[in-house]
């Protein structure tokens, strides 16, 4: 199975994630070192994609978009280290760009309006929960961000209806699970920051976030194997 063959290439990512949780630097003062440790797993996902070759990235626009999305994600992670110093909105911007790139990578086919409706309802309920706690620019920034991540989630989840086609099973499933975990992570951030303290919030946020990014990166690689299998058929 291709997922097993990709496993060894993800070992640096798993090690970097373990380093983050072992050092647990979010409880310390913001620093470039803590930013590096937080971003290191994402750096490893850059390497994971680049390890498949420039020709692979050149031939697959979706993989390129996901790689660029990971770059903006790392910038967002760094800004959020200094969120108490006024850089939270900068982090939102970086991750907003990430979701636009991921949405483009997942594409608009199949449309799956039913999935879009479900995500729209969930997004609306999420914003309704947050609205009374928001003030100033965040009233609008959070609304735009929820719309962007909701759209990304829709485009990832929409592809699940293709699971009947074995060539696309792991591609679509990885993207779908990754998008859902990303939404869980970001909703936890929002509730914890604007509404009320969430128990074990940091562990929930970062565990779901790293898993989401890994699954989305893995989905980019799986599309290569679907293409190859289709050509051989």
When pLDDT is averaged across residues 24-38 and rounded to a whole number, the result is: 83
Query: To which residue do tokens 């990754």 refer?
Result: 178
When pLDDT is averaged across residues 65-77 and rounded to a whole number, the result is: 98
Q: 71-75, 86-90, 109-113, 168-172: which has the minimum mean pLDDT?
A: 168-172
Q: How many angstroms separate the CA atoms of 99 and 84, rounded? A: 23
At 226 the pLDDT is: 47
Record the pTM. 0.91
* Residues sharing a CB contact under 8 Å with residue 135, sequence separation 6 or more, in sequence order: none
When pLDDT is averaged across residues 18-30 and rounded to a whole number, the result is: 81
When pLDDT is averaged across residues 87-110 and rounded to a whole number, the result is: 96
Instruction: Compare 44 and 25 and report the one with higher pLDDT.
Output: 44
At 229 the pLDDT is: 44
Query: Which of the given ranges, 4-8, 101-105, 172-176, has the highest pLDDT on average?
Result: 101-105
Per-residue burial over 137-176, b = 16 or more CB atoms within 10 Å of its CB, e = otherwise: ebeebbeebbbbbbbbbbbbbbbbebeeeebbebbbbbbb
At 27 the pLDDT is: 64
Task: Please answer whether residues 50 and 102 qualify as being in contact, where contact means their C-beta atoms are separated by less than 8 angstroms.
Answer: no
Q: How many angstroms separate the CA atoms of 176 and 159, rounded? A: 8
For residue 200, what is the DSSP state? T
The pair of three-digit structure tokens given for residue 7, joined into one six-digit string: 């496993």
**pLDDT tens, position by position, 193-227:** 999 999 999 999 999 999 999 999 999 986 554 44
């Amino acid at each position: 199975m291709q997922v097993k063959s990709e496993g060894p290439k993800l070992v640096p990512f798993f090690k970097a994630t373990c380093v983050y949780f072992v050092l647990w630097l979010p409880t310390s003062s913001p620093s470039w070192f803590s930013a590096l440790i937080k971003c290191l797993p994402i750096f490893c996902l850059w390497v994971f994609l680049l390890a498949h070759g420039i020709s692979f990235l050149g031939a697959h626009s979706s993989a390129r978009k996901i790689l660029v999305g990971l770059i903006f994600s790392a910038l967002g992670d760094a800004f959020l280290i200094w969120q108490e110093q006024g850089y939270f909105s900068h982090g939102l911007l970086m991750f907003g760009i990430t979701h636009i790139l991921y949405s483009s990578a997942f594409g608009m086919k199949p449309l799956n309006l039913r999935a879009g409706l479900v995500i729209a309802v969930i997004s609306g309920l999420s914003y309704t929960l947050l609205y009374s706690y928001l003030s100033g620019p965040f009233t609008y920034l959070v609304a735009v961000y929820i719309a962007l991540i909701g759209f990304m989630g829709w485009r990832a989840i929409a592809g699940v209806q293709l699971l009947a086609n074995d060539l696309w099973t792991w591609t679509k499933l990885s993207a779908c699970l990754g998008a859902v975990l990303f939404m869980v992570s970001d909703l936890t951030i929002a509730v914890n920051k604007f509404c009320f303290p969430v128990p074990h919030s940091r562990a929930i946020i970062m565990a779901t976030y790293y898993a989401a990014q890994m699954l989305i990166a893995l989905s980019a690689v799986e599309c290569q194997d679907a293409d190859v299998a289709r050509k051989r058929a």
